Amino acid sequence: MTRLGALLRAISRPRMPKPPILPPGSRSVLLYSPANLNNVDGSTVWVDSVVRTLLVDPGVHVTLPLRAPQRRDVITATLRRLERVRLVDVHPRLAGRALGLSTTQALDLIERLDRDRPFDAILLRSFQLSLRATERPSLRGRIWACYILEPERDADDSEYRGAMGRIAEASRFVVVQSEGMRQLLESVVPAARGRTILLPPGIPDETSRRADPDRPVQRLVYTGKFHPFYPVERMIEFLTELRQGEVPGLEFHVAGDKFMDVEDDPGYAPRLRRLLETTPGVVWHGSMPREDVVNLVAEGGVALNLWDYRHGPQMNELVVSTKLLDYASVGVPVVLTRTPTQVELYGEAYPLFVDQVDEALPLLRRVLTEPDLYRLTAQRSYEASRAFTYPRVHALIAPYLGAGESGPSFGGPAAGTSERTSER
């Protein structure tokens, strides 16, 4: 970059105003994720859901630095309307802005914000970010290291395990999203034992709309990003086959526009885009705010949450899917991959589980043509979602938000999974 360019960027960088003075008794929480909030995917929806979960406590105020400059407001527009939320965008106001903060820049910004108004808790998502944060003495002891056991990494790698141990030792808490993930983390990282707490994604206590389980709708629904792990190409083939047979008027509604690069299949993105644009019966909505996506699903139909493990790590079976919770929150049937976490959510007897992607087609035929099965699975979806409303998820972390240096006794609410499981 030229000296002139650097000067222009410095001049165009917005000033960061002093934070407001909080009422007595308030708790100040920083949440930072390396996710790009210009996109709508599981990682950015997670940010939205964690903010709303934290705000269940009327004394909590959330500061949310943006990793990437805001180019569209599919996620941030609703966050900016929330009380007690402060979004921090320090990116220059030039058209040629950089893609976003590096890890070092993000941590520098977090320390600067902390000097202006110290945070009671600092929630950081990702292994690499949490590891680098532990090198900052000013942050140690207040970090909530979120989701450091990442599916794409090798949990058997001794170097990775050692680094996770260092994170656990320097963090206030280590945060996981499922009981299965907690058990795995604590089995490979002894330092995490006794300080691991649950914070899965959350959903609204009540949605503005709910699908009618007594009115089967002949639609398929998929929302999220595009990668072979989520076999949207095969879903489109299901649509075509069903339209040619038992369900001639079937539509497939798809929301999302984030195409992942596939190194060994460079034609993946253009091929799938072409299918979304030209296949009869496909209605591609592109990117939509989360609330609009939920309203789309609430119009009814059968949602798809299928995974192809040929294109993704097996550890994903321990993940709580944000898209699944959004589907379930409005009460639509979901055909989904059988995983320990999803069986825990829906129950072993749920009739729309599949072990292989192609097993979905006969189940789709049945649920789209059998009203009793549609009604049963729609109701089960809605019931399963109730354990993940913002108040219920907040109850898992509430004992720790006001914790001092000693905090509540470990092994009590931190184990909160038994309560959550018994409520399902």
Report the C-alpha gap between 308 and 68 in whole angstroms.
30
Question: Are the C-beta atoms of 259 and 291 separated by less than 8 Å?
Answer: no
Return the DSSP state at 177.
S
Token pair 């399902």: residue: 424
- Max CA pair span of the chain: 69
Spatial CA neighbour of 364 closest among 240, 238, 245 = 238
Report the C-alpha gap between 326 and 337 in whole angstroms.
16
Report the C-alpha gap between 344 and 315 in whole angstroms.
16
Tokens of 131: 């590891």
The band of 42, judged by pLDDT with boundaries at 50, 70 and 90, is: confident
Give the pLDDT confidence score for residue 107 in this predicted structure: 96
Residue 62 phi/psi, 5-degree rounding, is -110, 130
Count H helices, E strands: the chain? 16, 13
Q: Which residues pair with 389 in a beta bridge?
A: 203
b/e 173-211 (16+ beta carbons within 10 angstroms → b):
bbbbbbbbbbebbbebbebbeebbbbbbbbbbeebeebb
**Average model confidence (pLDDT) for the chain?**
90
* 173: pLDDT strictly greater than 80: yes
Containing 131, the helix (H) or strand (E) segment is: helix 127-133
Q: Which of 69-78, 92-101, 166-175, 191-200 has the lowest mean pLDDT?
A: 92-101
The band of 147, judged by pLDDT with boundaries at 50, 70 and 90, is: very high
Give the pLDDT confidence score for residue 20 in this predicted structure: 85
Return the DSSP state at 22.
P
The three-class DSSP label of residue 142 is: coil
Give the pLDDT confidence score for residue 16 in this predicted structure: 75
* 417: pLDDT strictly greater than 70: no
Spatial CA neighbour of 384 closest among 333, 315, 419 = 333
Instruction: Tell me the mean pLDDT in the region 278-299.
Output: 95
Spatial CA neighbour of 332 closest among 303, 304, 353 = 303
Give the pLDDT confidence score for residue 93 in this predicted structure: 61
Report the C-alpha gap between 192 and 184 in whole angstroms.
10
Question: Are the C-beta atoms of 252 and 262 separated by less than 8 Å?
Answer: no
The three-class DSSP label of residue 223 is: strand
Question: How much is the CA Rg of the chain, to the nearest whole Å?
Answer: 22
Q: Which residues pair with 64 in a beta bridge?
A: 87
Give the pLDDT confidence score for residue 421 in this predicted structure: 30
The band of 40, judged by pLDDT with boundaries at 50, 70 and 90, is: confident
Instruction: Tell me the mean pLDDT in the region 331-345.
Output: 96
Q: Each residue of 94-125: pLDDT tens digit? A: 544 557 899 999 999 999 999 999 999 999 99
Report the C-alpha gap between 112 and 19 in whole angstroms.
11
Packing angle of the helix pair 232-243, 360-369 (nearest 10 deg): 50
Percentage helix, strand, coil, to 5, in the chain? 45, 15, 40
Instruction: Tell me the mean pLDDT in the region 342-371.
Output: 97
Q: Which residues pair with 140 in a beta bridge?
A: none
Q: Which of 59-63, 312-316, 383-387, 420-424 has the lowest mean pLDDT?
A: 420-424
What are the start-end ranges of the E strands in 168-293? 173-176, 196-198, 219-223, 251-255, 282-286
Higher pLDDT among residues 163 and 10, named by residue:
163
* 424: pLDDT strictly greater than 60: no
* 296: pLDDT strictly greater than 50: yes
Side chain identity at 29, as an amino acid letter? V
* 86: pLDDT strictly greater than 80: yes
Q: Which residues pair with 334 in a beta bridge?
A: 303
Q: Each residue of 267-278: pLDDT tens digit? A: 999 999 999 999
Give me the percent of the chain exceeding a pLDDT of 70. 90
Q: Each residue of 230-264: pLDDT tens digit? A: 999 999 999 999 999 999 999 999 999 999 999 89
Name residues whose C-beta falls within 8 Å of residue 152's C-beta, 6 or more positions apart in sequence. 313
Residues found in the chain: 424
- Residue 27 CB coordination number (10 Å): 16
Give the pLDDT confidence score for residue 404 in this predicted structure: 41
Instruction: Please name each of the domains of the chain with its CATH number.
Output: 25-202+392-420 (3.40.50.2000), 219-387 (3.40.50.2000)
* 265: pLDDT strictly greater than 80: yes
The band of 319, judged by pLDDT with boundaries at 50, 70 and 90, is: very high
Question: Are the C-beta atoms of 190 and 164 separated by less than 8 Å?
Answer: no
